[in-house]
A = this chain, B = another copy of it.
Amino acid sequence: METLNVALDERAYPIRIGRGLLDQCELILPYLRQKKVAIVSNTTVAPLYLGKLSASLRDAGIDVIEIVLPDGEKYKDWQTLNLIFDTLLERHCERSTTLIALGGGVVGDMTGFAAACYQRGMPFIQVPTTLLSQVDSSVGGKTAINHPRGKNMIGAFYQPKLVLADTDTLNTLPDRELRAGLAEVIKYGLIRDLPFLEWIELNLERVLAREPDALAYAIHRSCQNKAEVVVADEHENGERALLNLGHTFGHAIETGMGYGEWLHGEAIAVGSMMAAELSCQLGWIDRAAVDRVEKLFVRAGLPVVGPLLVVERYVELMQHDKKVQDGKLRLILFRQIGQAVVSDAASASQIAHAISVRSPHV
């Protein structure tokens, strides 16, 4: 087991990465403020792992409440969030009861937001079971639900007390989701860690084959990158925005196609390609660099061209993005591969061109 500390002063917390962590409730016990937890999971993950985690905690004398939500991004809404609140209140959970998220990004984001709001804040532990959630949402404290008019529009910054990334849970992850998670792993290389990008280029097949050591390394290095950025800029006033490479385009794809049609990582891959095209148009990187990014995404089985969505719709959806400031779209672009920057240098027509270059030609 490896441990990484997210050094956020009084909100610091450890991320533990390794095999078989779900069975080791002694990793969790020191973080509980009372002998009562509520575990939130979904209908896909619960049958696989909820029994194991609950049993291990119950054996240690903990009162365990199980909350199983419907699975999918389309349930990341207020109605589903309220199912958590209903159960917490019915079962007399207190502000010192701990809420545990067992599942992917949707479960983690909703559970974290529920923990942030329930009685104005209760302790929260993340047990991410997808590659995406292990390398992304487990670090940084972003929690949220969607609004019909925009993804993650309602939420809070709220840090967990502990993150347990059990790499064994990735064995049951569908191939498509593993690949979508890889989009975020690749992102860390692209925005700020060229040596890691080179490691991925060399070891991609090992990761795709789910070799435990390769997975653990990719997760650890990703979390390390994210932790460094988050510690420097917890509330996203500066450098943290770089983590949103491809996200403004990507969110437009996700919202435009309806939540759940495109996986987040797939949309991010296309969004990153659009950012690369734009950087190339601006003369910041050359065509060979764009091709290098494209080649890696293709090897990872990720899309590099968006869906059938007209440019006007992208632009409309992107106006709702949280990164808009004074009406100007601030995008994450490449100074070079391995070094991203926040920029509003691109004109509306350049943005439209980058989108159309990465859209299907029908």
Contacts and interface: CB of A to CB of B under 8 A. Distances in A.
Contact of A142 (B120, B142, B157): B120
The number of times this chain is found in the oligomer is: 2
A276 to B, nearest CB: 26
Contacts of A34: 325-326
A320 interface: yes
A156 B120 contact: yes
A155 B235 contact: no
A121 interface: yes
A82 interface: yes
Given A156-B116, A156-B117, A157-B121, A147 B320 contact: no
Contacts of A327: 92
A28 interface: no
A89 interface: yes
Given A121-B157, A156-B120, A149 B78 contact: no
A96 B323 CA distance: 10
Contacts of A150: 89
A310 interface: no
A118 interface: yes
B121 A156 contact: yes
Interface in A64-78: 78
Interface in A135-155: 142-144, 147, 149-150, 153-155
A91 to B, nearest CB: 11
A322 interface: yes
Interface string A90-129: 1010111000000000000000000011111100000000
A49 interface: no
B320 A89 contact: yes
Contacts of A96: 325-326
A94 B149 contact: no
A150 B94 CA distance: 12
Size category of the binding interface on chain A:
35 or more
Contact of A147 (B78, B85, B147, B156): B85
A121 B92 CA distance: 29
Contacts of A117: 117, 154-156
Nearest to A117: B154
A154 B118 contact: yes
A85 B120 contact: no
Interface string A237-266: 000000000000000000000000000000
A322 B93 CA distance: 9
A7 interface: no
A319 interface: yes
A324 interface: yes
Contact of A121 (B94, B149, B235, B319): B235
B89 A149 contact: yes
13 contacts: A78-B78, A85-B147, A89-B149, A90-B149, A92-B327, A94-B324, A116-B156, A120-B142, A120-B143, A120-B144, A120-B155, A120-B322, A121-B235
A-B complex: 3 closest residue pairs judged by Cβ atoms:
A89-B149, A119-B322, A120-B155
